[in-house]
Structure 1
């Protein structure tokens, strides 16, 4: 039986980022990624890296996202150098648009507040906005935060895995069937192997709650199903447009990912024709230029909602050598660099960042 320093259960963006951070720090890492499960939140991710509803967030989670977005440029640059591939990180590419007078007033108020807070942001008028979008637009304007960005989600996931494996990580594409707490660490059992690790990180999205139940500690998560779809739009530029609850994010090769639904309490990764029809209607009301573009794919994933209103990235108090990283809801990609750094600090016992305080295990 082979032994590792760390076992990470979960190969989505949170688990992959953690595995990368620990690999490059010199630890032996084994990653268990159930590639057959269709409900990963990362499956339906658009790669939109934003800080909450308005870009200025004073909540604990909002401050954490802001800190993580500041880490992104250097983090991505290191990954790209190590992997030798581009992940198409584009800062300042998110346009929060106003479709009517009320939305314009709200976004202008946010813009003024951002100026007082010395946040780097621009107000973009309707004519300039139409030029950026490269198409006629009825939007009354937009606010753009330079810290907000987009990234090619699938490319980033592949690059993280590539760097991990180059650093001799084991990446097992099968489900963990059993986890046992044994003397000196943990044993993880799949259909083909048993692996031992000194420490265990549970970072498998909403399914982390299932392991919490089995291992006997509380974890306040709830499922939120999200559906998105891709269209082929050869005219799509590099901008991402956020209009209220809808977004349209340009990707490579002329694709645009459009979404998304918020289906609370739904933990089954099932694509419903009626739900897709409602999503399509709402998204075309926001982005009418997409109505003639062909839909090439529909995806859904189960987001890990947190009942404490924020992620939990911490040691489990009653679990020796057990760390959880879950509850990121819709911000897994945005929070990936900070989450990975906090886990590294926990493992090595180094000086704690604010992230460790923001993500602490709930006291009750």
Structure 2
């Protein structure tokens, strides 16, 4: 069911998927009401690292790669546009990324050659000349100079501000959505904020909570919460010039000298309480990677809930069993990098426009039980 020119759309979920979907719809002339169970931009999108790439992009299929490639090209202009409009700089910074001592380095190089990407092999000598702050013992690296990171809390703040400035989106915060049901005459209804709402078109972009919302309709969406914990250090602005990744853990430099280190992968339901065990593990990894962090102050430790999905391929499109119900969820560890492309693709489909990429791999049809 395409969205008519006079239709109002409900977007359920106020993370980066919900906010960007609302922005794209509003710029296409649609009115949007966005529902968020707490304040917008305070769940997984806020908690993540903000690397504008999958951690190991060659380990994903073409579906994830297509969305990532489109978004990587789009982020610099998005960051500048948001900064100009709102005064909040999302800090899209092309620092580059070093992968250290990869076991599957041949596969990474083949991926780079096949996709025409700039990835350079770096010897230990060159590695330490560029990154003298690294811990000892690394043998080699791969360097991708064009990769960026985004300061995700700033990105979310800027998106919230631009939605309010442009005026076609109403934010309904502090109201969890429940009792999703199909209307006999078409469209969907649900309760939120103490009242019942009814819409011809509803976009479900509720991250790890999306599966439980669909379950009341008798649908099984294979999206589950996967807890990730992070720590933040305060360092000098020139402490680390580039992102580094080794043994599944990464360090991300921010413009003001903060260094973000993550992350854990935990199946703990909807519990996002930070733990001392994770803090100790993250600090040990951080100090092995960058020994100077042993003398730096840990200024933050938090957890978020990723929307885990099979193979990390998100669900983007209309639910065939319920016309008017659209999904944009299940991005697992890659929500921030896939968001611009995912939201553009969804709105293309909703408005009957030519999609930016082939939508078939992301379609809910045949993927819900």
TM-score if structure 2 supplies the norm length? 0.86
Structure 1 segment 1-364 matched on structure 2, within 5 A: 5-35=8-38, 40-53=43-56, 55=58, 57-98=60-101, 103=102, 106-107=104-105, 110-111=108-109, 114-115=112-113, 117-126=115-124, 128-130=126-128, 132-133=130-131, 135=133, 138=136, 139-168=138-167, 169-178=169-178, 179-182=180-183, 183=185, 185-191=187-193, 194-234=196-236, 235-264=238-267, 266-307=269-310, 309-364=312-367
Between the aligned partners of 1:72 and 1:144, the Cα distance in structure 2 is 20
SS at match of 1:216: coil
Q: 1:244 to 1:308 in 2, by over 3 A?
A: closer
Q: 1:336 to 1:36 in 2, by over 3 A?
A: closer
Q: 1:266 to 1:282 in 2, by over 3 A?
A: farther
Q: Structure 2: which 5+ residue stretches go unaligned?
A: 1-5
Are the equivalent residues in 2 in contact too, given 1:185–1:197 (CA < 8 A)? yes
Q: 1:281 to 1:197 in 2, by over 3 A?
A: same
Q: 1:319 to 1:116 in 2, by over 3 A?
A: closer
SS at match of 2:256: helix
Q: 1:82 to 1:194 in 2, by over 3 A?
A: farther
Between the aligned partners of 2:57 and 2:7, the Cα distance in structure 1 is 43
Question: How far 1:54 sits from its partner (Å)?
Answer: 5.0
Question: How far 1:106 sits from its partner (Å)?
Answer: 4.4
1:195-250 CA-partner distances (Å, limit 9, x unpaired): 44331111111101111011332211122111111111124344211113001111
Are the equivalent residues in 2 in contact too, given 1:228–1:258 (CA < 8 A)? yes
TM-score if structure 1 supplies the norm length? 0.87
Q: Structure 1: which 5+ residue stretches go unaligned?
A: none
SS at match of 1:361: coil
Q: 1:60 to 1:184 in 2, by over 3 A?
A: closer
1:271-294 CA-partner distances (Å, limit 9, x unpaired): 222232223223322332211111
Between the aligned partners of 1:258 and 1:316, the Cα distance in structure 2 is 37
**How large is the Cα RMSD of the aligned pairs?**
2.8
